Structure 1
Amino acid sequence: MVGRLASALTEALSPSWSQRVRAGRALAAYTHVPEAAEALAGLLLDTEDTAVTRQTSEALARVGTTASVRLLALAIAGADDSQADWMETGVLDALVGPDSAPDVAMVCGQLSRDPEAAVHQGAAEILSWTDGRPGRP
């Protein structure tokens, strides 16, 4: 596990968009590790390639934990319109299909009570993307 985490952290800094996408997918399982959370925040706001933002958002939504959705919510506060659009696309991608994500809307409801303004505002934005209904894009 430590080797995979270290490798993903290295890939998160790569000039290659495909390696950064791979890092976002791998790091989504490690949101509880501060270094991974920091790298994920950077990948969500990737300025080089929208695929990195989209795929990292999808991976975090698929994990669907409070920590992963909280990272998404925080990133929305620092996102420009294009990044926010690609985050929305990634989240919606995670919510459709036979292997859809856990109930992101429920987690957003929990995060709406977070004391940090950026978190509860970002959670409200994500909730609007899901239309507030479990499993519904």
Structure 2
Amino acid sequence: MSELTGGLEAALVKASSPSWAQRVRAGRDLASFADVSEAVEALVGLLLDAEDTAVTRQTAEALARVGTVPAIRLIALAVAEADDNQADWLQIGVHDALMGPGGVPDIAVVCGKLVWDPEEAVRRGAADISAWADGPRC
């Protein structure tokens, strides 16, 4: 098993842990695998974590820092499915990435690419994320 595959497998195990701290770590570790089909379901589950908002926030931040179309697409899917509380924490996670050290790729540009996504939920979520990225900066 390669180191890459081992890292993915270990993170997938952590994603279903009863420990919120392990799920936070899984969200961070899996973010770089946003384009790997085996990680997609786990990442969306972490973004919509029903038990701890820290998992939602940290996973959204990690994916926003990756900033690729697959990573932002997963946040957009979660935004479309999220309840109001989850959506608030998704927004805070994206904001944390935008305001954090080192900067992130231009999320609004990535969201502009997602307006052509075949899934309506992704297009709707991407519009919300784009508004967050263009909104007032603290």
TM-score (ref. length: structure 2):
0.93
Aligned match for 1:22, one of 5, 10, 25: 25
Q: Give the letter aligned to residue 85 of structure 1.
A: D
Counterpart of 2:12 in structure 1 is 9
The ranges of structure 1 where at least 4 consecutive aligned residues each deviate by more than 6 angstroms after the TM superposition are none
1:70 matched to 2:60? The reply is no
Deviations 1:88-112, CA, capped at 9 Å, x for gaps: 0000000013311111110001111
Tell me, yes or no, if the aligned pair for 1:73 and 1:118 is still in contact at 8 Å.
yes
Bigger drift between 113-122 and 12-21 goes to 113-122
Q: Which structure 2 segments of 5+ residues have no match?
A: none
Distance in 1 of aligned mates of 2:135 and 2:50: 29
Deviations 1:24-70, CA, capped at 9 Å, x for gaps: 00000001211111100100000000000000000000000000000
Counterpart of 1:130 in structure 2 is 133
1:95 matched to 2:84? The reply is no
Tell me, yes or no, if the aligned pair for 1:62 and 1:101 is still in contact at 8 Å.
yes
Number of equivalent positions: 135
Distance in 2 of aligned mates of 1:58 and 1:131: 16
Q: Which structure 1 segments of 5+ residues have no match?
A: none
1:55 matched to 2:55? The reply is no
Q: Give the letter aligned to residue 21 of structure 1.
A: V
Give the superposition deviation at 1:125: 0.3
Identity %: 64
Aligned match for 2:44, one of 33, 37, 41: 41
